[in-house]
Structure 1
Amino acid sequence: MQLKKENILIVDDDIDILELLQRHLQSWNFHTYKAISVKEAVQILRDTKIDLLITDLKMPEINGSELIKFVAEHYPKLPTLVITGYPSVQDSLEAIKSGVVDYLTKPFTKEELKTAIHKSIKTENNSDVPNTKELKLEDNTYGEIIGKSDKIQSIIEIIERVKNNKATIFIKGESGTGKELVARAIHYKGKFSRAPFIAVNCGGIPENLLESELFGYTKGAFTGADKDRDGFFQAANGGSIFLDEIGNASTAVQSRLLRVLQEKEVVKVGAQKAEKIDVRVIAATNSNLKAMIEKEAFREDLYYRLTVVEIAVAPLRERKEDIPLLVEKFLLKYGLEYKDRFIQLSQQALKVLERYDWPGNIRELENVIQRAVIMSDGKVDVEHLPDSLKYDITFPEETLLSLKAVEKQHILRVLQATNNNKTKASEILGIDRKTIRLKLED
């Protein structure tokens, strides 16, 4: 058969089998690389362009199935041929699921090997593309909330009950889960939707300015206050104010906020007279306010005023059935923005996205899809996803990591996912840019 000088990597812990395969392959004019362990194979793959992987399944320490999974995601276009002396139905199914082209059982003839290699090299790795029309994004959208999971449906049920009254609502959940989208749905799905909706990031405003920004101030109240000015509460009058990261509010702000909730009135900084207001307060945080109360960092009476109705937004890892819908939304958004068309996603890439636990939640998923769309041409495949999402192999000597090493590894992965954007990474990790820099330097 007419064959080019492809590079073939053979992985088997049996030296005799390695030598036999090498002789056969060299007689057919192939370049060969040999590895007697998965660890050695991974090192060769990282340093050399390989055109075909031939591997045994049963090997000491780390078996070949781990290598197959690793290759399927880090080198998705690399065809794989399995050779084993211990065939089983389970092994066969796992190999096929991971994209193995062919499966030979020892002993085999030279001609059977030749046919399997020919088939493997000629086979192109074409991933199925899911029919995005079947996902029915529009049928699983409520305001800006996207999802079909039970956890999303329970949130929507609560919103339907509270949207037409002005009870104080507290939204809790990890950073990046979409707490502001829930607040917006509460406002815009109800009868007050024509009134103002004001979103305030309490963590993004310096502590010494937050009080005057929220409640306004009078002329001469402090240096630079050259005229009376309304705050966010006055701007939201008649509608809703969303106080994100309320745990960052100072004790002075907490005291004023308690008065707003109790008396339905606001006193500007520097003023004596109170102003009546009609505002629905929606607060949110990713902090543990009960723990803050125990440390006397947050007022207990304010906590109970804020939590008249409580909504818990589940992290993405607890509602993975929503990932395909969210991915479709981001593919459409960034496909139109960067490519002027809808970008497709391979089934293998979707499997990787669905398996990952998303510590940065929806915000991290959006960032990954945004980057993947930029890097792709018409279809997002596994090769366009960050390595931190893909299947990895832990070698025995690497299993015992210190807590500091694990922390550093996680920070580096999040930085990679955000293209080294320390501001975005700090939001996902819940720490500031300075802390990231110090931990990396340390």
Structure 2
Amino acid sequence: MALNRENILIVDDDVHILELIQRHLKALNYHTYKAISVKEAITILQDKAIDLLITDLRMPGVDGLELVKYVSEHFPHIPKLVVTGYPSIDGALDALKSGAMEYMTKPFTKEELKKAVLNALKDKPKKKQVVSNVAKDNKAYGELIGKSKALKKVTDVIERVKNNKATVFITGESGTGKELVARSIHYMGKYATAPFVAVNCGAIPENLLESELFGYAKGAFTGADTQRDGFFQAAHRGTIFLDEIGNASLATQLRLLRVLQEKEITRVGSQKVEYVDVRVIAATNVNLKDLIAKGRFREDLFYRLTVVELEVPPLRARLEDVAVLAQTFLFKYGVEFKDRLIPITEDALAALERYTWPGNIRELENVIQRAVIMCHKQITIADLPEHLKYTIDFPEDNQELLPLKTVERNYILKVLEFTKNNKTQAAKILQIDRKTLSEKIK
């Protein structure tokens, strides 16, 4: 099912309520942004097209009522839905006077939320349908290849975020193409001509990651003979992709938090603050909430990285894309290996489509590359690895299925034959006492 066209911003300092509302709205097929403060919410409002604001009232610092007033003046077309755990007549009147269309008290059900959202959106003018920049054959979107519903959900989200600098957090198993998703966000949008810098945080030693990301000043450490820019300076006005973000140290995480909050960096060995205009896309194939529980990842950084969350589906969830991916890799390696444009037989392609691909797209690419090298004139079943070929689980010893009593009898006789009719030794192997064995023999 395609996403609804509306973008909903949720604002609440209670991360549990924030996630609960987001989960309900996702189940209703809405696209969501989330913020844990009014300041963060205003940044999102200024950068993205929001169709509905859902905000708590009581929050530290600037409260939700001030946000409602701000939105009423700066974004009068956005309907506002207020939720609060401290209901009062005065609070409701203040919210409604400030421009809120709906007022809900916590706790509320999914159905109550759905009704309130529909009421808030019912008078909003319908948007014109956006025609995406997807190829007419629906097989490619940027560097993403396929036509499955699972991939369509990914490209729907990319369409929403490609032309703004919202922080995007990409999750997915290893080999699913998280970097390709990040590149598609960058190169399919209006910032395509700006730099795209990919950083594998897991491949850089922990003691060097800070200087690589933020640069360093001359004399910052032994060997720092000149001032050097980091990846963030290189990505100025563009996008930086932080892959395997879970490998960053807590000190580096604190610096990243500063970048996301203030758009400022400080070189290692310097006290001078520098402004950077960078969209941050982060990715991981591990559960960061588990790292938070172990004290290895900052919770406040996690919630600032996950303004927009995007999960890349595993290949087993989009098996209908295997054929077009296989053809793409056949062409790629056919050109790379000089005029090795090899066809693939239907039975070989069928074998690829029934496999579950635990290594995802990377595994499929490796299989095709090997097959192009090893085959003669075309790729057949014989050219595929053994584990991709159809297998049958035969009953043990290739015998017919028998009643349990018969199986037990045959096995006891087999053990007695092995022990040369030594009942004591046979009982020990069978893990029963000698008396029980004698009864079974009778």
TM-score between the two structures when normalised by the length of structure 1: 0.58
2:348 paired with 1:323? no
Structure 2 match to 1:254: 253
1:43-62 alignment, distance < 5 Å: none
Aligned counterpart, 2:434: none
Q: Structure 2: which 5+ runs fail to align?
A: 1-134, 398-442
Q: Report the counterpart of residue 221 of structure 1 in structure 2.
A: 220
Equivalents in 1 of 2:396, 2:252: separation in Å?
A: 52
Could you tell me which residue of structure 2 aligns to residue 177 of structure 1?
176
**Residues 330 and 372 of structure 2 are in contact (CA less than 8 Å); yes or no, is this contact kept in structure 1?**
yes
Give the corresponding residue for 1:313: 312
Q: CA deviation at 1:167?
A: 0.5
Which deviations, in whole Å up to 9, do the C-alpha atoms of 1:314-371 show, x marking residues without a partner? 0001110000010010011111222514211111111111111111100000000000
The letter of the residue matching 2:275 is K
SS at match of 1:266: strand
Unpaired runs of 5+ in structure 1?
A: 1-135, 399-442
- Aligned-pair CA distance for 1:397: 5.5
Distance (Å, rounded) in 1 between the aligned partners of 2:377 and 2:210: 49
Give how far 1:307 is off.
0.4
**Range with bigger deviation, 219-228 or 315-324:** 219-228
Cα distance change, pair 235–360 in 1 and its aligned pair in 2 (3 A): same
Equivalent position of 2:363 in the other structure: 364
Determine helix, strand or coil for the equivalent of 2:233. helix
Residues 137 and 329 of structure 1 are in contact (CA less than 8 Å); yes or no, is this contact kept in structure 2? Answer: no
Aligned to 2:351: 352
Match of 1:151? 150
**Matches of 1:295 and 1:137, distance apart in 2:** 47
**Conserved? CA contact 1:137–1:328, under 8 Å:** no
Two-structure CA RMSD over aligned residues (Å): 1.5
Residue aligning to 2:234? 235
Letter in 2 for 1:266: I
> Aligned letter for 1:280?
R
CA distance in 1, matches of 2:149, 2:210: 39
Q: CA deviation at 1:396?
A: 4.9
Amino acid at match of 2:155: I
SS of 1:254's equivalent in the other structure is: helix
Q: C-alpha separation between the residues in 2 aligned to 1:256 and 1:397?
A: 60
Q: Secondary structure of the residue that 2:193 maps to in structure 1?
A: coil
Higher relative contact order (CA 8 A, sep 6+): 1
SS at match of 1:200: strand
Deviations 1:165-199 (A, max 9, x none): 00100000000000000000100111111110000
Cα 1:290/1:338, change in 2 over 3 Å = same
Task: Answer yes or no: is the 8 Å Cα contact 2:138–2:146 preserved in 1.
Answer: no
Written as runs of structure 1 = structure 2, the 5 A alignment for 1:241-280 is 241-280=240-279
| Match in the other structure for 2:199 | 200
Structure 2 residue identity aligned to 1:245: E
CA contact (8 A) 2:167 2:307 kept: yes
Q: For 1:159 and 1:289, locate their aligned partners in 2 and report how far apart those are by CA, in whole Å.
A: 22
Structure-to-structure mapping, 1:133-152, within 5 angstroms: 139-152=138-151
Q: Secondary structure at the match of 1:363?
A: helix
Match of 1:427 in 2: none
Q: Which digits, 9 at most, give the CA deviation of each residue in 1:90-128, with x for residues without a partner?
A: xxxxxxxxxxxxxxxxxxxxxxxxxxxxxxxxxxxxxxx
Once the two structures are superposed, residues 245-304 of structure 1 have per-residue CA deviations (whole angstroms, 9 ceiling, x without a partner) of 001111111010000000101111111111001000000000100111111111000000
In structure 1, the residue corresponding to 2:209 is in which secondary structure?
Answer: helix
Shift of 1:202: 0.6
Q: Identity percentage over the alignment? A: 68
Q: Is the 8 A contact 1:158 1:311 kept in 2?
A: yes
Q: Aligned partner of 1:302: which letter?
A: L
Distance in 2, Cα, partners of 1:206 & 1:384: 40
CA distance in 1, matches of 2:328, 2:310: 24
> What CA distance in whole angstroms lies between the structure 1 residues aligned with 2:233 and 2:160?
26
TM-superposed CA distance for 1:392, in Å, is 2.7
CA distance in 2, matches of 1:388, 1:202: 33
Q: How big is the shift at 1:309?
A: 0.4
> What is the CA–CA distance in structure 2 between the aligned matches of 1:229 and 1:341, rounded to whole Å?
44
Find the counterpart in structure 2 of residue 96 from structure 1.
none
Contact 1:137 1:325 in 2 (8 A): no
Q: Kindly provide the amino acid, as one letter, of the partner of residue 182 in structure 1.
A: V
Equivalent residues, number: 263
User: For residue 300 of structure 1, what is the aligned residue in structure 2?
Assistant: 299
What SS does structure 2 have at the residue aligned with 1:302? helix
1:66-81 counterparts in 2 under 5 A? none
> Structure 2 vs 1, CA of residues 294 and 258 (structure 1 numbering), >3 Å: closer, same or farther?
same
CA contact (8 A) 2:292 2:299 kept: yes
Residue equivalent to 1:377: 376
Once residues 208 and 263 of structure 2 are traced to their aligned partners in structure 1, the CA distance between those partners, rounded to angstroms, is: 22
Q: Tell me the distance in 1 between the aligned counterparts of 2:377 and 2:137.
A: 23
User: Counterpart of 1:41?
Assistant: none
Partner of 1:189: 188
* Residues 410-436 of structure 1, C-alpha deviations (whole Å, 9 max, x = no match): xxxxxxxxxxxxxxxxxxxxxxxxxxx
Secondary structure (helix, strand or coil) at the match of 1:344 reads coil
Q: Distance in 2 between matches of 1:192 and 1:233?
A: 16
Amino acid corresponding to residue 381 of structure 1 in structure 2: T
Match of 2:337, SS? helix
